[in-house]
Amino acid sequence: MFVTFSDHNSMDKALIQKCNLLNSRNCEIRTALDGQFLIQCKMVQKILAVVEEVVFKGMAVLVMEETSVL
């Protein structure tokens, strides 16, 4: 369930409590993240995964070259 607040003060008060009673149900209060922000985070994660793979492959090649010289 999403609740939209008309002012920041009300939102801040709700966030401080962490759990609120809403329509006779306990609700955990969290801020929602913007969809575009989540898309950007996923793109960054994919880029980091590729960079990590390239770095580890490069390190493996260097280790193999270094050990084959001995």
Q: What is the pLDDT of residues 11-58, one digit of tens each?
A: 888 788 777 777 888 888 777 777 777 788 788 888 888 888 877 777
Beta strands in the chain (DSSP E): 19-22, 25-28
* Token output for 48: 């980091």
- Residue 68: the pLDDT is 57
Compute the distance between CA of residue 50 and CA of residue 47 in angstroms, rounded to an integer: 5
Predicted confidence (pLDDT) at residue 9 exceeds the cutoff of 70: yes
- Residue 4: the pLDDT is 77
Contact 44, 38 (CB under 8 A): no
Q: Say if pTM beats, i.e. exceeds, 0.85.
A: no
Strand duo 19-22 + 25-28: pairing: antiparallel
